[in-house]
């Protein structure tokens, strides 16, 4: 058994970015098959245009169309591409100063080996056939063979009329998530139908889940304590609102449940009773999912339901609010 429980997780969202007028102008150009730079107060043509001038700090307002052919000023080999890079096979990233620009623009360079690249070589933009106003409207740079006529690649597809004002940029990251050793104890217990806490050796409080450091003292919780499956609702809210990812139809109750023997409440669902009948102090017990659905999660407990016992006296839980 590994020390900690681990599992993969993907954190992904398609970000909707508003570009503002300057980056929007650059992306509108790409959509139309032209590369647009911005002129700075010192006269340089910068691609992509800077949103604000580095000297005067004023917004860039002068735009210049530059060539789609240019010169490699630096490059690097990418032997093991990572997800979402322009190629999924080895390629080069290159800084290319397009004719008419004063500074280079980074993009991929389509070559089969590092032997095919050198600083100073001439390259041109290879356009995507369907362009939306995105940096990937440029597929990559491609080398111009020595002696080859310096003709820009044909721009297929159509131009647009409306300026580009937004761009969607998906961000998807894969992680290996690990629980702490103390949390791992807790989740492993749940996989066996047990609710495991730990006692802080300094303040003697029983924590569920156990903690790598007791937040009061900074000492790891240590002594294992199996907790009761019965507890008291300290406080709660009635969820009436639907939201993204919701699994239960509203209204329902999300409550803090203080298990007997624990010194901290856990947040869980109260079901098996109309939402408007849930009370502070109500005594509840864990209702587990069928055993074959158990995993390493507090979700093994489907919800808490009233025991039918008399409510706990306010004084017994008021210091847990």
Return the residues of window 63-92 that contact other proteins according to CB under 8 A. Answer: 73-79, 82-86
Query: Max Cα separation, the chain?
Result: 92
Q: Between 117 and 124, name the residue whose CB sits nearer to other proteins.
A: 117
123 binds other proteins (CB under 8 A): no
Q: Given strand 35-39, what is the order of strands in its sheet?
A: 45-46, 35-39, 63-66
Q: Between 145 and 244, name the residue whose CB sits nearer to other proteins.
A: 244
**Segment 260 to 299, residues that bind other proteins, using CB under 8 A:** 263-264, 267-269, 275, 280, 296-299
180 binds other proteins (CB under 8 A): yes
Report long-range pairs for 241-249 (Cβ below 8 Å, ≥24 apart): none
Q: Between 155 and 280, name the residue whose CB sits nearer to other proteins.
A: 280
In this chain, which stretch among 121-129, 143-151, 242-250, 282-290 interacts with other proteins, using CB under 8 A?
Answer: 242-250
Rounded alpha-carbon distances, angstroms, from residue 114 to 68, 77, 118, 141, 287: 22, 6, 8, 15, 62
Q: Which of 61, 177, 201, 223 binds other proteins (CB under 8 A)?
A: 177
Cβ atoms within 10 Å of 195's Cβ, excluding its own:
23
**Segment 141 to 160, residues that bind other proteins, using CB under 8 A:** none
16 binds other proteins (CB under 8 A): yes
Q: Between 59 and 112, name the residue whose CB sits nearer to other proteins.
A: 59
Q: What are the structure tokens assigned to 121, written together?
A: 């070589």
Mask 182-221, x = binds other proteins (CB under 8 A)?
xx---x------------x--x-xxx---xxxxxxxxxx-
Nearest to residue 223, comparing CAs of 251, 241, 204, 243?
A: 204
In this chain, which stretch among 107-115, 149-157, 223-231, 285-293 interacts with other proteins, using CB under 8 A?
Answer: 107-115
Q: DSSP states of 86-116 as a string?
A: S-SS-EEEEEEEETT-SS-EEEEE--SSGGG
């Amino acid at each position: 058994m590994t020390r900690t429980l681990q599992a993969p997780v993907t954190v992904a969202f398609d970000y909707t970015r508003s570009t503002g007028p300057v980056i929007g102008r650059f992306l509108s150009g790409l959509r139309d098959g032209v590369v647009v730079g911005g002129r700075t107060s010192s006269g340089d043509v910068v691609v992509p245009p800077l949103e604000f001038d580095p000297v005067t700090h004023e917004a860039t307002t002068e735009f210049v169309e530059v060539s789609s052919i240019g010169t490699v000023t630096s490059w690097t080999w990418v032997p093991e591409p990572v997800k979402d890079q322009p190629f999924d096979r080895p390629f080069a990233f290159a800084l290319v100063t397009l004719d008419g620009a004063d500074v280079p623009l980074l993009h991929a360079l389509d070559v089969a080996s590092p032997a095919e690249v050198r600083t100073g070589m001439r390259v041109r933009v290879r356009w995507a056939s369907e362009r939306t106003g995105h940096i990937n409207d440029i597929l990559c740079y491609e080398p111009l063979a020595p002696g080859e006529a310096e003709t820009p690649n044909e721009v297929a597809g159509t131009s647009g009329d409306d300026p580009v004002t937004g761009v969607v940029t998906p961000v998807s990251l894969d992680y290996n998530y690990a629980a702490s050793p103390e949390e791992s104890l807790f989740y492993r217990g749940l996989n066996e139908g047990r609710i495991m806490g730990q006692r802080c050796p300094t303040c003697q409080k029983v924590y569920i889940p156990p903690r790598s450091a007791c937040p009061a003292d900074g000492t790891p919780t240590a002594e294992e304590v199996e907790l009761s499956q019965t507890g008291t609702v300290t406080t709660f809210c009635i969820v009436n609102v639907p939201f993204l990812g919701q699994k239960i139809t509203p209204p329902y109750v999300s409550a803090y449940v203080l298990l007997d023997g624990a010194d901290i409440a856990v947040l869980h669902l109260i079901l098996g009773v109309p939402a408007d009948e849930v009370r502070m102090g109500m005594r509840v017990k864990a209702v587990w999912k069928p055993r074959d659905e158990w995993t390493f999660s507090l979700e093994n407990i489907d919800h808490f339901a009233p025991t039918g016992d008399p409510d706990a006296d306010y004084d017994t839980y008021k210091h847990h609010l």
